[in-house]
């Protein structure tokens, strides 16, 4: 600059433009990386496809894979209230096997547990084959497909209406992001992209609001998501006093009064709308789903399921602007005032996020670890620091697990 006698002001102006352009490129690269990371979370690994296909083939050629589940001598346990009933709604065979394996291995009395798996018609055959072949190492497991339920026409209509409204909410959210070229307000990009996950539209995710109808003969259950791993005995959950409430869930956090175990209501809801601001406090913590105790007897005495449907209709009348896509926001509204808080150590969530915030001592002492978030443990984008906590319960000796190279 000195040799060529350039104007210092012109030099500063050019330098500033270069720096701003470089900053925009960096921000754009970060933005695209985040979008691609979330897109990667939508895929199903080849190894999981392989496992389902091989188990389906095994079901067709191996009589043992078609064996009745549970065996006739154990059928009475399916409705026996003296047993500990755990419910999973899932279409992921490997994930279901990890949930059951980790629960059984850490149980003091594993023979007291009864597992009820509800899956879709597509996954029913491989799911049944897996637990039929591995029945020697499992307690009582029931596998039931949605096609095997005979619901009244009224319930079928309400389920279709529920799914249609959730699709409308999802499409509106997607269109808003598309119109803005997927640009985000600072701090909201993670939630905005996560709300676009196809699981927000999955029937199995939304059917939990109909659990009393799925299991009319049960009075108390523990509902587990398929992306959890159990690290201690869960038996005492069935002795937990819910004080007349319907659901037991972790509300308070291990990190004290200044943070939440998951998200706050403001992360799910549009508080600029009076319907939301008059019913919820935006800084309050939302209770964690993924490991919940349900008193189905108390549930049947309430109008929770109808309240859920009412909120969905209110969302339509309000222009689909009340909450982000997903089953949890209307569930939080329907269960308002009916939640009993559990000890924070029962359930630690967020292990499927880009960075795990929970300290190692908290992870070790937690009864249930929940890989909530896009980075599921079976995906390549999962966090390597916590992935091993899930993989240690994968049955690595199983011939289909080895052939499909799942451990790789």
pLDDT digits (tens, 9 = 90+) for 279-314: 999 999 999 999 999 999 999 999 999 999 999 999
Q: Do you find a cis peptide bond into 300, omega within 30 degrees of 0?
A: no
What the block records as the tokens of 171 is 């499409």
User: Could you count the other beta carbons within 10 Å of the beta carbon of residue 102?
Assistant: 23
Distance CA 375, CA 356 (A): 11
Chain-centre distance for alpha carbon 68: 29
Position 225 scores a pLDDT of 97
Q: Is the torsion defined by CA of 212, 217, 220, 226 positive or negative?
A: negative
Position 74 scores a pLDDT of 93
Position 180 scores a pLDDT of 72
Q: Which stretches in the chain have pLDDT values below 70?
A: 1-6, 136-138, 181-191, 256-258
DSSP string, 107-119: -SSGGGEEEEEEE
Q: Tell me phi and psi for residue 141, to 5 degrees.
A: -125, 125
Three-class secondary structure of residue 183 per DSSP? coil
Query: CB under 8 Å to 317, separation ≥6 — which residues?
Result: none
Position 133 scores a pLDDT of 94
How far from 76 is each of 70, 79, 295, 296, CA to CA, in Å?
A: 10, 6, 21, 19
Identify whether the C-beta of residue 250 lies closer than 8 Å to the C-beta of residue 341: yes
What the block records as the tokens of 118 is 């509800």
Q: Is the torsion defined by CA of 49, 50, 53, 58 positive or negative?
A: negative
How far from 18 is each of 9, 81, 147, 400, CA to CA, in Å?
A: 14, 71, 61, 56
Position 196 scores a pLDDT of 77
Question: Alpha helix locations (H) across 116-152?
Answer: 121-133
> Any idea which residue has 């909410």 for tokens?
169
Position 256 scores a pLDDT of 66
Identify whether the C-beta of residue 352 lies closer than 8 Å to the C-beta of residue 382: yes
What the block records as the tokens of 394 is 């994968």
pLDDT digits (tens, 9 = 90+) for 314-359: 999 999 999 999 999 999 999 999 999 999 999 999 999 888 878 8
pLDDT digits (tens, 9 = 90+) for 359-391: 889 999 999 999 998 999 999 999 888 999 999
Looking at residue 287, the DSSP 8-state letter turns out to be P
Per-position b or e across 211-225, b if 16+ CB within 10 A of its CB: bbbbbeebbbbbbbb
Domains in the chain: boundaries: 1-42
- Return the bridge partners of 141, or none: 115
Report which of 167, 142, 181 is spatially closest to residue 32, judged by C-alpha positions: 181
Position 37 scores a pLDDT of 83
Distance CA 392, CA 408 (A): 13
| 3-state SS track over 2-38 | CCCCCCHHHHHHHHHHHHHHHHHHHHHHHHHHHHHHH
Position 185 scores a pLDDT of 45
Q: Tell me phi and psi for residue 332, to 5 degrees.
A: -60, -40
């Amino acid at each position: 600059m000195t040799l060529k006698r350039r104007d210092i002001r012109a030099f500063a102006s050019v330098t500033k433009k270069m720096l701003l352009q470089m900053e925009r490129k960096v921000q754009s690269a970060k933005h695209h990386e985040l979008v691609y990371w979330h897109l990667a979370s939508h895929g199903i690994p080849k190894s999981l496809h392989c496992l389902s296909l091989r188990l389906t083939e095994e079901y067709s050629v191996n009589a043992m894979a078609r064996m009745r589940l549970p065996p006739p001598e154990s059928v009475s346990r399916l409705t026996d209230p003296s047993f500990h009933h755990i419910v999973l709604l899932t279409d992921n065979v490997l994930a279901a096997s990890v949930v059951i394996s980790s629960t059984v291995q850490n149980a003091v009395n594993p023979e007291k547990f009864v597992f009820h798996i509800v899956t879709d018609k597509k996954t029913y055959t491989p799911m049944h084959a897996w637990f039929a072949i591995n029945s020697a190492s499992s307690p009582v497991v029931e596998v039931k497909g949605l096609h095997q339920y005979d619901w009244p026409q009224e319930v079928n209509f309400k389920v279709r209406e529920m799914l249609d409204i959730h699709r409308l909410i999802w499409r509106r959210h997607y269109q808003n992001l598309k119109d803005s070229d997927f640009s985000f307000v600072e701090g909201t990009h993670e939630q905005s992209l996560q709300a676009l996950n196809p699981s927000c539209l999955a029937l199995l995710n939304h059917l939990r609001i109909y659990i009393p109808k799925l299991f009319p003969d049960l009075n108390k259950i523990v509902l587990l998501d398929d992306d959890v791993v159990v690290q201690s005995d869960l038996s005492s959950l069935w002795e937990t006093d819910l004080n007349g409430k319907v659901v037991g869930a972790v509300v308070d956090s291990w990190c004290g009064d200044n943070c939440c175990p998951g998200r706050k209501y403001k992360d799910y809801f549009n508080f600029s709308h009076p319907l939301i601001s008059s019913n919820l406090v935006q800084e309050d913590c939302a209770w964690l789903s993924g490991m919940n105790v349900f008193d189905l007897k108390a549930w049947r005495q309430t109008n929770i399921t109808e309240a859920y449907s009412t909120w969905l209709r209110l969302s339509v009348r309000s222009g689909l602007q009340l909450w982000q896509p997903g089953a949890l926001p209307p569930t939080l509204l329907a269960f308002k005032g009916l939640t009993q808080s559990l000890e924070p150590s029962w359930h630690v969530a967020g292990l499927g996020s880009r960075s795990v915030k929970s300290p190692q001592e908290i992870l070790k002492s937690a009864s249930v670890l929940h890989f909530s978030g896009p980075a599921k443990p079976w995906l390549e984008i999962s966090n390597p620091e916590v992935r091993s906590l899930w993989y240690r319960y994968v049955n690595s000796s199983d011939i289909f697990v080895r052939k499909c190279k799942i451990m790789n």
